[in-house]
Amino acid sequence: MATAAELHDRALVIDGLSYHSDGYTGDVRVGGVDALNVTVCHFEADFTECCIDIAAWLARCAAPDSEWMPIRAADDLAVARRAGKIGLIMGWQNMRPVADDLDRLYLFHQLGVRVMQPTYNYRNFMGDGNLETEDAGLSQLGRDAVRLLNELGIAIDISHVGDATSRDILELSTQPVLATHVDARALTDLPRNKDDGLLRAVGESGGVVGVSV
């Protein structure tokens, strides 16, 4: 029987959520991580700020001595591993840069963003975050956003999304939904943690729950 270390070495290892502002890769290499979902712009970044941050990451990847490779499709993960690169899955924790203009999703998809969290703790144009006392669920704009994200192939992350808004997303999405950095509320009763029903629903969608440590 293979040891845990042997399984880890053979597996394609993806860190479901990381915040690497300077691109440091030392710990990633030591840990045997192949790719990371990196929050590439600040949670409260607007459209311009987010574009600047994405440009900085793309420039980092394009540098001659770069250890990073942007991941735009699933096959890129294996390509990056063979090339000895760390896969960069560009992600957001708040759709604030989109504001009320869903056409911007086409631009950010072209730039390489592949994971988006509709809300970060509080209410925005899309719906409610997990710190809102009255979670009203997805707005109509949020519903339209879910459909377009599915169409474009941008994964939806519900980690900081409110319960009712999360349920709406899970009911509406035709693609797997992620909860990249949460824990079980039954064990630790905190707003960001998810109840058993939501955790099961993520799995039933074909998605993945990432344990937050």
Where does the chain have alpha helices with state H? 4-10, 26-30, 47-62, 75-82, 104-111, 140-152, 163-172, 196-204
Report pLDDT for 22.
64
Task: Judge whether 169 and 147 are in contact, CB under 8 Å.
Answer: no
pLDDT in tens, 70-96: 999 999 999 999 999 999 999 999 999
Q: For 21, what's the count of Cα atoms within 13 Å in the CB-facing half-sphere?
A: 3
What are the chain's domains? 4-167 (3.20.20.140)
Q: Which residues contact 19 (CB under 8 A, 6 or more apart)?
A: 38, 39
Residue the block writes with tokens 């090339």: 83
Backbone angles phi, psi at 209, to 5 degrees: -105, 125
Count of CB atoms within 10 A of residue 62's CB? 10
**How large is the C-alpha radius of gyration of the chain?**
17
Task: Judge whether 105 and 126 are in contact, CB under 8 Å.
Answer: no
Higher pLDDT, 19 or 177: 177
**pTM as predicted:** 0.94
- Between 25-34, 70-79, 148-157, 158-167, the lowest mean confidence (pLDDT) is in 25-34
Q: Which candidate, 164, 158, 155, 126, places its Cα nearest to that of 142?
A: 126
Count of CB atoms within 10 A of residue 9's CB? 11
Q: In this model, does residue 126 exceed pLDDT 80?
A: yes
Report pLDDT for 21.
60
Q: For 87, what's the count of Cα atoms within 13 Å in the CB-facing half-sphere?
A: 28
Q: What is the pLDDT confidence band of residue 20, given thresholds at 50, 70 and 90?
A: low
Q: Which candidate, 138, 142, 207, places its Cα nearest to that of 174?
A: 207
